[in-house]
Amino acid sequence: MLNNLNIVGHNKTEDIRIFEGKIHSITSGQSWPAKNELVITFVNAIAFPGLINSHDHLDFNLFPLTGNRIYKSYIEWGADIQSNNRKNIDAIVSVPKNLRVEWGIYKNLLNGITTVVNHGEYLNINNPVIDIFQDCYSLYSVREKSWKFKLNRPFIKNQPFVIHVGEGTDMSSFEEINELIRWNLFKRKIIAIHGVSMNTKQAKAFEALIWCPDSNFFLLNETAKVNELKKETKIIFGTDSTLSANWNVWEQIRLAKKTNMLTDRELFESLTSSPATVWELNDRGVLTEGKNADIVIADMKSENNSMDNFFKLNPEDILLIFKKGEIVLFDESLYSLLVQEVTIEEFDKIVINNTSKRVKGDLNQLISKTKKYIPKINLFGL
């Protein structure tokens, strides 16, 4: 039982009971614990669903921000960094892919993300600490060889196609969107990524748009007009990788908020209930009875309503993360309360901005393995 929580959007203090990996009940007022039930009572804490990151390249999260100027398109950016940043790129790629993927997983976990949609080749990962969604067809872009055949091949699973499109401010990026729409012969369900040059007429052709504002502003100094596009398609949030966006997802969320293109409620839902609907993950995305106990609990930053507190968070403010009722991260200050619930040997200690956390898995071993390839690499400041 988790007592005295300010659930984001509820604007009142409530208790959450977890049983067999699910949210058993949410109640306001005094709740009586069952026999042998672990009870944790919080002071000034908020709770929200484990976030859903709709776009990441998990094996690209060891990269520093890589770019040398503002570009007109992803094509221009790619050509430039391949010419001028080749040495740094080769150094990161020298790290085995399985290690790089693990870093992508931990980036998401440390930010309160419990489900991430990976874009790229299918990853075979045993018992990842968070859920990796891959029940979709990843296309890189309309510049990819054979993309038309892949999109229109017969007898395929009823899964959405996910593709980078309109990632630029030039006419070529705009026309890419029209080309994709024109060649969607069988009207497949398509989820677009970026859509910086997308207009409202084009937006109607897509099941959803994954908005990655930090990546867009870093590369293009512009982002999708989601204030207009949201009238025609669903908007869900993606972080992209550290190659073009901040590892601190909360900085990305605040950047999105600063644009004022989504309301606070819409932005919050773009990370929770909306992607749950788009990806047909009906067991998560909201805190309600019967859903998976994917729950993040964090310090309140002020006495204002809990929605304001949500947007002020950073990774060091996260106190506890449950994935399907299992603790996967906790603040070390809570250990005395959890000593009967967790096996401490299964958790590694890390320090984020002078705050000690325990995370499930062999994170320190991962750090050691990675530094054999790149001794001076900056691993999210850990």
239 and 350 share one domain: no
pLDDT digits (tens, 9 = 90+) for 342-354: 999 999 999 999 9
Residues 85 and 201 in one domain: yes
Question: Which of 278, 306, 339 lies at the terminal end of a domain, its last residue?
Answer: 278
Predicted model pTM: 0.97
Residue 8 pLDDT: 94
For 38-95, write each residue's pLDDT tens digit. 899 999 999 999 999 999 999 999 999 999 999 999 999 999 999 999 999 999 999 9
Per the domain annotation, does 132 fall within a domain? yes
For residue 4, give every residue at least 6 positions away whose Cβ sits within 8 Å of its Cβ, in sequence order, or none: 13, 15, 41, 42, 43, 45
229 three-class SS: helix
Are residues 177 and 70 part of one domain? yes
**Per-residue CA distances from 265 to 288, 308, 320, 331 (Å):** 17, 11, 23, 27
Q: How many domains does the chain have?
A: 2
Which residues constitute the domain of residue 308? 2-50+284-371
Residue 219 backbone class (left: φ over 0; alpha: ψ -120 to 50; beta: rest) = alpha
Q: Are residues 211 and 233 in the same domain?
A: yes
C-beta contacts of 351-354 below 8 A and 24+ residues apart? 351/382, 352/110, 352/315, 352/316, 352/381, 352/382, 353/314, 353/315, 353/316, 353/381, 354/316
Same domain as 223, residue 124: yes
Residue 380 lies in a domain: no
CATH, residue 274: 3.20.20.140
Chosen domain end from 243, 262, 278 = 278
Please check whether residues 196 and 261 belong to one and the same domain.
yes
> In the chain, which residues have pLDDT < 70?
30-31, 305-306
Judgement on whether residues 243 and 308 belong to the same structural domain of the protein:
no
Whether residue 57 sits in one domain with residue 41: no
* pLDDT recorded at residue 305: 67
Flag whether 377 is in a domain. no
Give the end of a domain, one of 278, 307, 342.
278
User: How much is the pLDDT for 381?
Assistant: 76
Based on the fold, state whether residues 271 and 350 are members of the same structural domain. no
d(CA 348, CA 364): 7
The answer on 32 and 77 residing in a single domain is no
Is residue 208 located within the same domain as residue 349?
Answer: no
The reply to whether 181 and 270 lie within a common domain is yes
